[in-house]
Every structure is written in C-alpha cells, then in structure tokens.
C-alpha cells in the first residue's frame, strides 16, 4: 500500500481527538506520568527533546535513550492506533561530534563537505532516538548585531540556497526511510533575519520583491531537495505575524514552492499571537494558525486545548484538521517510523566523524590579513600566547550545541604547544592581574581574542559589534613591544575591526568551529593547513555602517558605502573592512584569460536552455598547494525595476599545486539572469549584463554579454 493510501486508512480510523493529538508536540521534560498518560490517550504526535525555548544556550543534555524508548513503546503498544511518536531535537551543527557553526560552514564555500558533515550529524542523532532535527536555519541576514545570524548561511540568497541543499541532502540521506536518515526542518520561515535593528523576534518590513528575490530562494531550494518539515518564524512581516499568515504558510509555501511536508510552530509561537496583538486569547490564536496552514503546535497546547471546540463551532473545518494530520502522518510514514519506531543499533566511526569535522573546520576559517607574511609561524619562533580564548574549550563548540562535550576539544594553547613545544608560552593570569607583562623574550604575540558562546545565538543580540575595548588594549600593548602581532578572532558573528586593525599584522577569523577547532587553528597558524575560507557575511568597519551587504541597489547619485564610489559617512572611510567572498591564502592565485563563448544570445534560445559559457584560467603562482574559490557575479545593467549592483550566481572551489593551472567554466543561463519581477513571476529581460569573475565580491574582472 502506498503512503497516501496508508494515510487515508489511518485518518478514517481516527477520532477527532486523536487527530488533534497528532498536531501536538510536547516537551520531553514534563512530568513523566503525565506524559505517558497523554501518549496512551493518543494526544501526542511529537516530543521535543529540550528543556526550554532557549535550549541552545542551556546545559540540557539529551535524556537517556531508554527513556525515549519507553515513550515510544507506550505510543506503539498502548495507544489505540499505535501511531509512533516523532522525536525532535535541536541538532543544529553537531551532536556528539560538533561541526562549525552554520555561518562558518557557509564560509567554506564547499557544498560537499557541508553535506558530509550533516550526514555524520544525522547518523549520530538517529542512534539517540532523534529522527527529526530543527535545522537548517535558512534566514538570510544582513545584520551581524542579530545573535542568530551565526546559525544561518549569511547575507546571500544564492549561497544560502546551496547551503540549504547541502544540509537537507546530508540530514535526510539518500532514502528517508533508512535507519540513519532523519527529517530536516527548514527554518525560520520567513524573514526572521530581517528583524529591525538586529533585535530578536522583532518586526520585519519586507516587500514582496525582496521576499521573492532574497528571502525565499533558500527555502525554495530546500523544498526542491525534499525537506520534510518547515518551522514558522516568530516575527511579523509588514504587520502580519507569520504564524497566522495563510499567504505565507499555504499560498506561497505549498501553492508556489510545492511543499508537501508539515509546518511546525516555533516554541509557543501560536500563543504569542496574543503578544502580537492579533489574537484575543489562545483559542483565537489556535483558530488563526490552523486556518493559516500551521500543522503542528510546539509545546503551548493551543491545538490540544481548543481545536476540538473550534471544529464544533465551525470556526475550523474538519477538512483543515484532516489536511494537517495528513501532512504529519505522511512524514512519519516516509521516515519508516511505523516499521522501525525505535533507535537503530549500528556503530559510529567516531574517528572518521572527528576527521570530517577537522576537514570542514579547516575550510571555514578565513585569513583576513597577513602583512609581510606574518603567517604561517615557524616552529622555532618564540610565541607569547595571550588573550581570553587561549585556554578555552567550550566556546569553540558554539551556540546551539546541546550534546557536544568540551572535554573533546583541544584548547588553542595545547594545540599550539603540540607543534611549537617549549617555544609557546601561554600567559594564564592576564585577566586577573591586568599587568600584561610582556617581558618574556618572544618573537611573536598570538592574541586569542573573541566572544563566548553565550554572546551569540537566540536572544543574544548586540548593539555594538566592535571588538571589546579590553581586547583592543591587549593588542595595543603587544604592538608597543615592537614585535609581530597575530590576532586569532574567535567571534561567532562578523565583527567591526576598525579599532583593532592598526595593531595587528595578521587576522585569522575562526568563528566557533566545533570539536576540532583548536587543532585546526594551530595547524593554520603553523602552515600545516593553508586557509581557504571566504566570508559569507560582510565585515563592516564599524557598527554604524550596518546594514552593509554587497548585493545592494545603486543609489541615485551613485554614492554608496560598499564599492567605494562615493562617501556615505564623513567620519569613516567608505566601504567594508572585508567584503563578502573575501579570504586570503598562504599561496598566490592569478585569474586571467576571462572569456565568453558568445557575446549575445536570443531570449528565446536562453528560455529553451541555451547558456553563455564563461571561462577563465586559474593559476597557483605561489609556493604551496592551496584552494581558491572562483566566484561569478552578475549585474543587470538596465532593467524594468532596480536590480542589485552585483549578485553571486556561481562559485567553484579548486585546489592547485604550485605552478599548476586549471580552466574554470561557468554556465550562465535563464536561472542566473532572471529574477522575480513586479508580478512576482520569474522574468528574463533583453539587454546588457556584466559578468564578474574573481576571488571576492569586489573583483573588477568582467566580460559583457547581451540578451537580444
């Protein structure tokens, strides 16, 4: 019997109360006896394995698998229809093995490594009864003040879509019913990253044009890749809370994107319609969300308490309930939960997963500055290692890490000592005595700066993203000694480096890169690894420049604060400190011979599938093997509505030995040249386009093409 027929068969057997139960997700930390009673009565469709809405910053270890096995056995054996529970947990960027934060993953520009990481994550999670994770977060964000920007793919919709595909494919595997595959959840749908002022949960003002061209593409790609669940966002858009928006949850998500899984609310988001001021009480909130197309209620029990009454009163139709239940059961059947409701018993290769975490972290860290070859360090250099992150372990795990163990992390100090031995001297008392005694005869100061994991993530926003004054003071005092100064920047979010930059010869931006972070940092500093990360979010000079993003519109007088064609502010230099797509290497790369196979193509031919072939020659002209990400950007020179100055439409990461060259080819066709116009339909217009190919968003290498 196929899945839809099985769903029909189940729905025919269910009472209204049992149907509503499938739409109810409860917290796994409520009273056990009460939870078992609810399960026996068929009133639980899902259990979230979390202790609070701020689980990402809690010490909330997963309960033992025996506990969840007992809950599942109760559902299967003691509820009337034996419908299994789907257990969900925030396995955001790692389970027992922790990988880099999602924003750092995007810095890798390596879809394959990201997909492999999520495959490892899913395999570990499934062993602990977790068959559903609330990731990937696909919120495009242009504001690093927002604490949750670190959980997403950055500022660009194309990169966001590629990261969405990698995450969904990795989490859900080749076959969703396989024992080591779990359901992914595309969140937070939608516009959460556009909150005013970078303030979590706040209002977002987003035009339909921006919604379709910037905020929807990553979700569209996730749906295309078969994502099984979507989580609504807390925010409102233009005065309409997403949790009550039929336009967003049904008309666009299902009608246009073709989503056929189920939608879950974020933690108590239905009840929070009261806070938004659009619902009088929980009953009305439940009515609004059900009619909008929000299928499952996360923990606030609005559906459990009021849905039956709403159906009786005719305020919610039986068909609406059946549709929501159908969506939930469809996913449970696709996961194979009815055939195998319990945790699988396969073994995990922990060393392989740690190696995978190391390899991904190695490509996520970004070398921002390297004056006069300050890096890599030599093993015989005498190093004075100072700063708040030198001996820290837990921070490297990052926010939203529920099950990673800090004991599995090697500190930067210990990792560097394994390479540099007695030449590495770590100052442990710098914060206590504030004496900053630099008397030890070193050649180089390595400053381990950064922010704790509690400074980013949900409800952890900052008004100022500058490096803290006391950390700038460390750099000033180190530079005053007349020695080389290298700064390791262990910040989860992009930071404003204007005040720190004059005092450092090199910047290595590490983010929070997980279990293997310490070893990777040391290996990059000593040249064991050649860094290859690129920025997925712009680094502004100061907080006052925010929002600063590369794909903005042209101003009327062509003054802007990104491409340095004018001056937006009188008190600082124009442009970002480091642009989107930027990142250095220990070797040198050259890009030349940029060409296109045809300068013009007919619109009808492009619509039929014909493409421009853009080619360039990449050469490693340096002395060591390295990886470079060649990026392709498009500019629509004249269009019926304003278009961004540049938009990323392709990238390829290539490894070359010294002296080697490789021809890089991109296809530019309908998908790359079209956009969503005034009628919110994809349109490709005739006219001129400029194609830029280079190593970051400021590249000047270009060719012109025309659609005729």
pLDDT of residue 57: 46
Of 562, 558, 623, 561, nearest to 588 (Cα)?
A: 623
What does pTM read for this prediction?
0.97
Q: How far is it, in rounded angstroms, from Cα 233 to Cα 253?
A: 13
What are the tokens at 30? Answer: 């409520």
When the candidates are 1.20.1440.230, 3.40.50.1700, 2.60.40.2230, 1.20.1250.20, the CATH number that belongs to 357-545 is 3.40.50.1700
Helix, strand, or coil (residue 676): strand
Q: Which contiguous run of DSSP H or E holds residue 362?
A: helix 350-364
Q: How far is it, in rounded angstroms, from Cα 81 to Cα 378?
A: 67
Strands 383-386 and 702-707: unpaired
Identify the residue whose tokens are 């007992």.
Answer: 70
What would be the CATH architecture of the domain defined by 3-334? Alpha-Beta Barrel (3.20)
The alpha carbons of the chain give a radius of gyration, in whole angstroms, of: 26
Beta strands in 318-378 (DSSP E): 366-370
Can 403 be counted among the known catalytic residues?
Answer: no
Q: How far is it, in rounded angstroms, from Cα 560 to Cα 569?
A: 9
* Same fold flag, 357-545 and 589-707: no
CATH 2.60.40.10 for domain 589-707, yes or no, is: yes
Three-state DSSP string of 132-154: EECCCECCCCCCCCCHHHHHCCC
- Concatenate the DSSP letters of all residues of 638-660 into one string: S-SS---S-EEEEEEEEEE-TT-
> Cis bond leading into 547, ω under 30°?
yes
Question: First-to-last CA distance in the chain?
Answer: 52
pLDDT of residue 236: 98
Residues of the chain with pLDDT under 50: 52-57, 61-62, 432-435, 439
Question: Residue 199, class by beta-carbon neighbours within 10 Å (0-12 exposed, 13-18 middle, 19+ buried)?
Answer: middle
CB contact at 8 A, 610 and 598: no
681's CB contacts (< 8 A; 6+ apart) are none
Q: How far is it, in rounded angstroms, from Cα 38 to Cα 361?
A: 43
Q: How many residues does the chain have?
A: 708
pLDDT of residue 55: 46
pLDDT of residue 565: 58
Q: How far is it, in rounded angstroms, from Cα 626 to Cα 533?
A: 11
- Chain centroid to Cα 190, Å, comes to 14
Q: Which of 90, 111, 128, 266 is catalytic?
A: 266
Q: How far is it, in rounded angstroms, from Cα 369 to Cα 256?
A: 44
Of 22, 52, 49, nearest to 126 (Cα)?
A: 49
Question: Domain boundaries in the chain?
Answer: 3-334, 357-545, 589-707
Q: How far is it, in rounded angstroms, from Cα 649 to Cα 689?
A: 13
């Amino acid at each position: 019997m196929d899945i839809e027929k099985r769903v029909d068969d189940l729905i025919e057997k269910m009472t209204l109360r049992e149907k509503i139960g499938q739409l109810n997700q409860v917290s796994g930390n409520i009273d056990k006896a009460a939870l078992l009673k609810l399960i026996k009565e068929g009133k639980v469709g899902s259990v979230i394995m979390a202790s609070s809405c701020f689980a990402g910053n809690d010490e909330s270890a997963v309960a033992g698998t025996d506990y969840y096995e007992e809950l599942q056995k109760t559902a299967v054996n003691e509820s009337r229809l034996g419908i299994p529970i789907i257990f969900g947990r925030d396995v955001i960027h790692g389970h027992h093995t922790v990988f880099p934060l999602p924003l750092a993953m995007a810095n890798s520009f390596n879809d394959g490594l990201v997909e492999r990481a999520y495959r490892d994550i899913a395999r570990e999670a499934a062993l602990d009864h977790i068959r559903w994770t609330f990731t990937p977060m696909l919120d495009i964000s242009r504001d690093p003040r927002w604490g949750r920007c670190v959980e997403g793919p950055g500022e660009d919709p194309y990169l966001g879509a590629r990261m969405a595909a990698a995450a969904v494919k990795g989490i859900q595997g080749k076959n969703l019913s396989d024992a080591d595959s779990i359901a992914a959840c595309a969140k937070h749908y939608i516009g959460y990253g556009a909150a005013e002022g970078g303030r979590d949960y706040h209002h977002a003002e987003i035009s339909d044009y921006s919604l379709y061209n910037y905020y929807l593409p990553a979700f569209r790609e996730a749906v295309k890749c078969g994502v099984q669940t979507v989580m609504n966002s807390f925010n409102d858009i233009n005065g309409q809370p997403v949790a009550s928006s039929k336009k967003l949850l049904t008309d666009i998500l299902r009608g246009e994107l073709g989503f056929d899984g189920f939608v879950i609310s974020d933690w108590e988001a239905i009840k929070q319609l009261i806070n938004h001021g659009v619902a009088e009480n929980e009953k009305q909130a439940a009515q609004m969300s059900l009619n909008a197309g929000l299928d499952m209620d996360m923990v606030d029990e609005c559906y459990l308490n009021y849905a039956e009454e709403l159906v009786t009163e005719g305020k919610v139709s039986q068909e609406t309930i059946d549709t929501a239940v159908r969506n939930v059961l469809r996913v449970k059947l696709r996961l194979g939960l009815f055939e195998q409701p319990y945790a699988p018993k396969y073994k995990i290769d922990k060393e392989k997963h740690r190696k995978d975490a190391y390899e991904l972290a190695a490509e996520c860290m970004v070398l921002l500055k390297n004056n006069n070859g300050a890096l890599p360090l030599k093993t015989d250099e005498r190093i004075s290692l100072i700063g708040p992150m030198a001996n820290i372990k837990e921070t490297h795990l990052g926010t939203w890490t529920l099950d990673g163990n800090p004991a599995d992390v090697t500190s930067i100090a210990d990792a560097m000592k394994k390479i540099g031995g007695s030449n590495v001297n770590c100052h442990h008392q710098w914060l206590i005595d504030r004496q900053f005694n630099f008397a030890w005869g070193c050649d180089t100061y390595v400053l381990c700066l950064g922010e704790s994991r509690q400074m980013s993530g949900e409800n952890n926003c900052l008004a100022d993203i500058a490096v803290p004054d006391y950390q700038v003071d460390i750099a000033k005092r180190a530079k005053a000694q007349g020695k080389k100064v290298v700064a390791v920047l262990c910040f989860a979010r992009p930071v404003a480096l204007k005040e720190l930059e004059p005092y450092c010869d090199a910047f290595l931006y590490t983010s929070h890169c997980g279990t293997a972070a310490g070893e990777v940092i040391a290996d990059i500093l000593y040249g064991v690894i050649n860094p290859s990360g690129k920025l997925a979010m712009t680094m502004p000079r100061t907080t006052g420049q925010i929002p600063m993003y590369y794909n903005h519109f042209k101003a009327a007088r062509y003054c802007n604060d990104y491409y340095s064609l004018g001056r937006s502010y009188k008190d600082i230099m124009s442009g970002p400190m480091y642009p989107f797509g930027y990142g250095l290497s220990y070797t040198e790369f050259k890009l030349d011979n940029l060409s296109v196979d045809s300068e013009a193509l007919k619109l009808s031919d492009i619509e039929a599938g014909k493409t421009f072939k853009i080619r360039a020659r990449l050469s490693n002209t340096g002395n060591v093997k390295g990886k470079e990400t060649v990026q392709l950007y498009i500019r629509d020179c004249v269009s019926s509505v304003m278009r961004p100055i540049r938009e990323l439409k392709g990238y390829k990461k290539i490894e070359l030995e010294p002296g080697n060259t490789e021809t890089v080819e991109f296809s530019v066709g309908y998908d790359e040249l079209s956009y969503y116009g005034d009628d919110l339909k994809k349109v490709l217009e005739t006219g001129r386009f400029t194609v830029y190919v280079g190593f970051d968003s400021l590249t000047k290498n270009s060719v012109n093409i025309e659609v005729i």
